[in-house]
Chain A
Amino acid sequence: MLFKKAADLLSREVTGKDLYLNRRKFLAGAAGAGAAALAGERLYRVLAPAEVVRAGMKLDTVKQADFAGGEKETPYKDVTNYNNFYEFGTDKYNPASEAPKYLHPRPWSVAVEGLVKQPKTYDVDSLLKMFPLEERIYRHRCVEGWSMVIPWLGFPLGDFLRRVEPASKARFVEFTTLYDPKQMPGQNTRVLDWPYVEGLRLDEAMHPLTLLTFGLYGETLPNQNGAPIRLVIPWKYGFKSIKSVVRIRLVASQPATTWNRAAPNEYGFYSNVNPDVDHPRWSQARERRIGEFYKRKTLMFNGYADQVARLYNGMDLRKYF
């Protein structure tokens, strides 16, 4: 199953181009023609270009892919109520209660800066329409030892990065979350060094599994899940998948990331899911899937080893944890 999906993934670019060429037809509402071109793919209602996008609004996807080996999706209620998003408090239920009250995900702009040929600030709605959205069901593993299966909506970050053309010196990508204590009251505390910063090596950022994400369960992201735009990197611990992004910067050297700075011995820059490398204070060998009674064995690279292990060939994963 996973192998099949891996192959599907690698041929993704072909499909993407196909879709890309057809996007005007899609946007014009010629759904029938589009669907015919995409034989077998499920097609949702097509978003009219003029339509205003709101939180909790239905999003259209051109294809669906299960990257979780057919595992059962975690209920929407749990996905949207049990969150770590310290910008709204350190309790798991703080984001669901606070984020809807404070965060305004529209209008929202995302600045693309640094070592790129096309630096530009994008409105999130124009970003959202830049490539066809896909629904991807990914496993999501938190560094704390729990996990979920979540149907995300987005497109590969790599597609977007190719569009802005990284300069040849660019080796890493740095992502920054909004800093605004009025919208993110948790930033009034010093629990972390704000704003939240995450980073990826450029090849990790370009990997087709890395998803620039706008929605989940068929709708725009709820505020507590990182509205309006976040990253999902399914083979890394959840905190790498930065939420509510306002800046994407291409840089030459490894960025200083928030959790790594907070506790360098506990949270590495890579933070790949790895059952053999324990957190200094707890084991990572097993995880509790939300909704399940027994614990599961944690999979190497969260089950995406076939797709991503090659990125780390020759690296000592104990050293580069």
Chain B
Amino acid sequence: MIRRVWKPAVFAACLLPLANLGWKGWKGELGANPIEVITHSTGLWTLIFLLVTLTVTPARKLLAMPWLIRFRRMLGLFAFFYGCLHLLTYVWLDKFFDLHDMVKDIAKRPFITVGFAGFGLLVPLAVTSTRKMIQRLGGMRWRWLHRLIYLSAMAGVVHFYWQVKKDVTRPLYYAGVLALLLGYRIAAYLVPKLTWHVVAQPAPAPSVERET
């Protein structure tokens, strides 16, 4: 059921933000500054997918829905996918492949630097997302490596916060959600009993991706 129905459904849903952009772009409804809309939208969805990915573990434990883990890789890869689109809009539509200008930007502008760092941290995660790579690395090392997502999401929030001219309400909202999600992990580490008793199986072992 999950494999045949839910996974394709979630996959399609994850493409909706892109489809929406494409549709509005086609109809010329992206407003006066379409490139700005595309840049902001792809960036925002990168952050949203990072946060949704980070919600999987707390949700499966607190709500006793262990099967949620089977969507985690897909959600994480969608974060990477929207991150790639976001980076592409910067490289292409903002800098027009001017390498010199980009290097200067990365070195000089903290919000660009931190944005690049956030994206860079996702690359090893995407590369090691296959079952083969999990097996090659071993579950323990794989899990440590994939904790880079915490740093990446933090970089994403800071990138958003620094980019805004004055009204930081929305970046703060995302920062709050991230703080909750990371706070859960700290709590779970400090007081394992509080959260880990909900489901019998404690570890989000990567092997759960196997369809059993």
With A281-B109, A281-B111, A282-B109 as contacts: A78 and B32 at CB distance below 8 Å? yes
Prevailing SS type, chain B contact patch: helix
Question: In the assembled complex, which residues on chain A have CB atoms less than 8 Å from the CB atom of B31?
Answer: 81-82, 92-93
Question: In the assembled complex, which residues on chain A have CB atoms less than 8 Å from the CB atom of B111?
Answer: 281-282
CB distance from A83 to the nearest CB of B (A): 9
Name which residue of chain B comes closest to A90, CB basis.
Answer: B167
Whole-angstrom distance between the alpha carbons of A192 and B110 in the complex? 24
Q: Decide yes or no whether A7 CB sits under 8 A from chain B.
A: no
Q: Decide yes or no whether B210 CB sits under 8 A from chain A.
A: no
**Is the pair A281, B110 in contact by a Cβ cutoff of 8 Å?**
yes
Question: In the assembled complex, which residues on chain A have CB atoms less than 8 Å from the CB atom of B162?
Answer: 281
Prevailing SS type, chain A contact patch: loop
Stretch at the interface among A21-29, A129-137, A205-213, A287-295: A287-295
Whole-angstrom distance between the alpha carbons of A150 and B152 in the complex? 42
Name which residue of chain B comes closest to A78, CB basis.
Answer: B32
**Is the pair A288, B33 in contact by a Cβ cutoff of 8 Å?**
yes
Tell me the residues in window 18-66 of chain A with beta carbons closer than 8 Å to chain B beta carbons.
Answer: none
**Is the pair A82, B165 in contact by a Cβ cutoff of 8 Å?**
no
CB distance from A94 to the nearest CB of B (A): 11
Name which residue of chain A comes closest to B95, CB basis.
Answer: A295
Question: In the assembled complex, which residues on chain A have CB atoms less than 8 Å from the CB atom of B108?
Answer: 278, 283
Whole-angstrom distance between the alpha carbons of A77 and B31 in the complex? 9
Whole-angstrom distance between the alpha carbons of A293 and B33 in the complex? 10
Could you say which of B33, B110, B166, B167 contacts A146, with CB atoms under 8 Å apart?
Answer: B33
Q: Mark A90-104, 1 if CB is under 8 A from B, else 0.
A: 101100000000000
Tell me the residues in window 70-90 of chain B with beta carbons closer than 8 Å to chain A beta carbons.
Answer: none
**Is the pair A191, B166 in contact by a Cβ cutoff of 8 Å?**
yes
Q: Decide yes or no whether A1 CB sits under 8 A from chain B.
A: no
The winner among B35, B96, B105, B166 for most chain A CB atoms within 10 A is B166
Count A/B pairs, Cβ under 8 Å: 45
Question: In the assembled complex, which residues on chain A have CB atoms less than 8 Å from the CB atom of B94?
Answer: 295
Tell me the residues in window 21-77 of chain B with beta carbons closer than 8 Å to chain A beta carbons.
Answer: 31-33, 35-36
**Is the pair A281, B163 in contact by a Cβ cutoff of 8 Å?**
yes
Could you say which of A77, A191, A263, A290 contacts B33, with CB atoms under 8 Å apart?
Answer: A290
With A192-B166, A262-B166, A263-B166 as contacts: A146 and B36 at CB distance below 8 Å? yes
Whole-angstrom distance between the alpha carbons of A78 and B32 in the complex? 5
Name which residue of chain A comes closest to B164, CB basis.
Answer: A90
**Is the pair A82, B163 in contact by a Cβ cutoff of 8 Å?**
no
Could you say which of B33, B35, B166 contacts A82, with CB atoms under 8 Å apart?
Answer: B33
Whole-angstrom distance between the alpha carbons of A82 and B32 in the complex? 6
Q: Mark A256-288, 1 if CB is under 8 A from B, else 0.
A: 000000110000000000000010011100001
Question: In the assembled complex, which residues on chain B have CB atoms less than 8 Å from the CB atom of A288?
Answer: 33, 35-36
Could you say which of A82, A191, A263 contacts B167, with CB atoms under 8 Å apart?
Answer: A191
CB distance from B23 to the nearest CB of A (A): 18
Question: In the assembled complex, which residues on chain B have CB atoms less than 8 Å from the CB atom of A291?
Answer: 32
The winner among B94, B110, B111, B165 for most chain A CB atoms within 10 A is B165
Beyond the given pairs A77-B32, A86-B167, A288-B35, 9 more chain A to chain B contacts, judged by CB atoms under 8 angstroms and listed by A's residue number, are A82-B31, A86-B166, A92-B32, A146-B33, A191-B167, A281-B163, A290-B33, A291-B32, A295-B96
28 sample A-B contacts, Cβ–Cβ < 8 Å, listed by A number: A81-B32, A82-B31, A82-B32, A82-B33, A86-B166, A90-B166, A92-B31, A93-B31, A146-B33, A146-B36, A191-B166, A191-B167, A192-B166, A263-B166, A278-B108, A281-B111, A281-B162, A282-B109, A283-B109, A288-B33, A288-B35, A288-B36, A290-B33, A291-B32, A293-B93, A294-B96, A295-B94, A295-B96
Instruction: Report the 7 A-B pairs with minimum CB-CB distance, sorted nearest first.
Output: A82-B32, A90-B167, A78-B32, A191-B167, A290-B32, A281-B111, A191-B166
Binding site for A on B (CB under 8 A): 31-33, 35-36, 93-94, 96, 105, 108-111, 162-163, 165-167
